[in-house]
């Protein structure tokens, strides 16, 4: 079961998402993040995707504590030089049941590649703390409010632990049933985990929240490591795309990805970074880049050895229990990566 990541070519005959979705009208989304480096890249892509209306961006503890994730989210928006901001709201600091685990060793102690430690010649910070643009409303209440404001329209895109989503469901299940779809980054099915042998970070960090979301009944699409590990942003590719550009965004891209590229150089022998959280954004705007299958997905919530493991039988020839999710099993990595650059650098 667990071995080489799945390749698009392995899924001849799989249902391409575009077979069922085709061209899509503008979609309203709420992006729920534990900003982190790849969350920041997802924010850049989402806000440069005309197919999406980003109604709000919320934060949750994950890669680092939610206080830092919230600051990092705002710093990312400032790096974009936006004239107007989506609503930003701070979310939950602790998982439903487990104690908080973070991934600062990957994303830097500040959660954003340690850019907050970069100084100008005069000793001032290259990336100062952002202006306080956080809404007074907690993220869980904002999610519930927007679900009511846009019934059957709002798509939730959680790319961190699912704590905020689960708490919104617990607090107001009737309202949350009006969510159109949940497209989440998380899980690992036919590949190894990235926290333990079997578990991917977002699910591992709050497995009880993940199981609750999967049990709830709103359509869920899971974008797991099986596909996100196929899309690597290398230092060489970044240099080729931004070259000597001196604009603020290009500098931010170099600075924010450096720490994770160095981490992967030391630990996975490539100088580059995964862009996990950008893939759910791409799946919404360009489903033709991806393959998904229906599956019955469960989460291990009790075993010490395999806690946070996502379990589903993806073999097409096997009889399956009633599916509770679509699982993304293939991606055209090269096409998506070029699309990512074209959009965030606003090349087209």
Return residues touching ligand RIB (CB under 6 A): 34, 36, 38-39, 62-63, 103, 159-160, 185, 194, 200-202, 276-277
Using CB distances below 5 to 8 A depending on partner kind, what does residue 333 bind out of Ca ion, ligand RIB, none? none
Selected binder of Ca ion within 14, 29, 36, 102 (CB under 5 A): 36
Angle between helices 207-216 and 163-171 (to 10 degrees): 50
Number of amino acids touching Ca ion (CB under 5 A): 6
Query: Which CB sits closer to ligand RIB, 48 or 196?
Result: 196
Using CB distances below 5 to 8 A depending on partner kind, what does residue 226 bind out of ligand RIB, Ca ion, none? none
Using CB distances below 5 to 8 A depending on partner kind, what does residue 241 bind out of Ca ion, ligand RIB, none? none
Q: How far is the CB of 123 from Ca ion (least distance, A)?
A: 32
Selected binder of Ca ion within 34, 55, 190, 200 (CB under 5 A): 34
Selected binder of Ca ion within 39, 181, 200, 300 (CB under 5 A): 39
Q: How far is the CB of 161 from Ca ion (least distance, A)?
A: 8
Q: How far is the CB of 27 from ligand RIB (least distance, A)?
A: 20
Is 249 exposed, middle or buried, given 0-12, 13-18 or 19+ CB atoms closer than 10 A? Answer: middle
Catalytic residue among 107, 229, 276, 286: 276
Vertex 109, ends 227 and 272: CA angle to 5°?
35
Q: How far is the CB of 274 from ligand RIB (least distance, A)?
A: 7
Query: Which CB sits closer to Ca ion, 40 or 331?
Result: 40
- Assess contact for 344 and 254: CB atoms under 8 A: no
161: contact with Ca ion by CB under 5 A: no
Query: Which CB sits closer to ligand RIB, 144 or 203?
Result: 203
Q: How far is the CB of 9 from ligand RIB (least distance, A)?
A: 24
- Assess contact for 291 and 331: CB atoms under 8 A: yes
Using CB distances below 5 to 8 A depending on partner kind, what does residue 200 bind out of ligand RIB, Ca ion, none? ligand RIB
280: contact with Ca ion by CB under 5 A: no
Query: Which CB sits closer to Ca ion, 278 or 314?
Result: 278
Using CB distances below 5 to 8 A depending on partner kind, what does residue 194 bind out of ligand RIB, Ca ion, none? ligand RIB
Query: Which CB sits closer to ligand RIB, 167 or 172?
Result: 167
Q: Is 276 a catalytic residue?
A: yes
Q: How far is the CB of 348 from Ca ion (least distance, A)?
A: 27
Question: Where does this chain bind Ca ion (CB under 5 A)?
Answer: 34, 36, 39, 159-160, 277
Give the residue numbers marked as catalytic: 276
């Amino acid at each position: 079961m667990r071995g080489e990541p799945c390749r698009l070519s392995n899924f001849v005959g799989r249902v391409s998402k575009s077979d069922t979705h085709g061209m899509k009208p503008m979609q309203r989304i709420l992006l729920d993040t534990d900003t982190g480096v790849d969350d920041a890249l997802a924010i850049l892509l989402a806000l440069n995707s005309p197919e999406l209306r980003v109604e709000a961006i919320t934060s949750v503890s994950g890669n680092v504590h939610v206080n830092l994730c919230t600051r990092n989210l705002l710093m990312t928006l400032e790096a974009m030089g936006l004239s107007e901001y989506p609503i930003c709201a701070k979310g939950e600091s602790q998982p439903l049941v487990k104690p908080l685990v973070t991934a600062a060793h990957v994303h830097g102690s500040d959660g954003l590649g340690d850019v907050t430690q970069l100084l100008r010649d005069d000793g001032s910070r290259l990336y100062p703390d952002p202006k306080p643009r956080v809404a007074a409303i907690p993220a869980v209440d904002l999610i519930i409010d927007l679900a009511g404001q846009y019934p059957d329209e709002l798509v939730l895109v959680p790319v961190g632990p699912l704590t905020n989503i689960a708490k919104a469901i617990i607090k107001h299940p009737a309202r949350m049933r009006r969510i159109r779809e949940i497209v989440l980054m998380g899980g690992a099915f036919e590949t190894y985990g990235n926290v333990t042998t079997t578990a991917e970070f977002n699910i591992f960090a709050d497995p009880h929240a993940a199981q609750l979301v999967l049990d709830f009944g709103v359509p869920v699409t899971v974008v797991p490591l099986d596909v996100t590990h196929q899309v690597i942003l290398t230092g060489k590719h970044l240099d080729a795309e931004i070259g000597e550009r001196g604009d603020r965004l290009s500098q931010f891209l170099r600075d924010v990805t450096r720490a994770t590229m160095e981490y992967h150089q030391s630990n996975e022998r490539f100088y580059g970074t995964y862009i996990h959280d950008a893939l759910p954004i791409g799946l919404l705007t360009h489903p033709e880049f991806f393959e998904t299958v229906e599956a019955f997905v469960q989460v291990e919530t009790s075993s010490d050895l395999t806690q946070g493991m996502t379990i589903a039988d993806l073999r097409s020839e096997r009889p399956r229990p009633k599916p509770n999710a679509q699982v993304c099993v293939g991606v055209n990595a090269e096409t998506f990566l070029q699309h990512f650059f074209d959009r965030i650098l606003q090349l087209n």
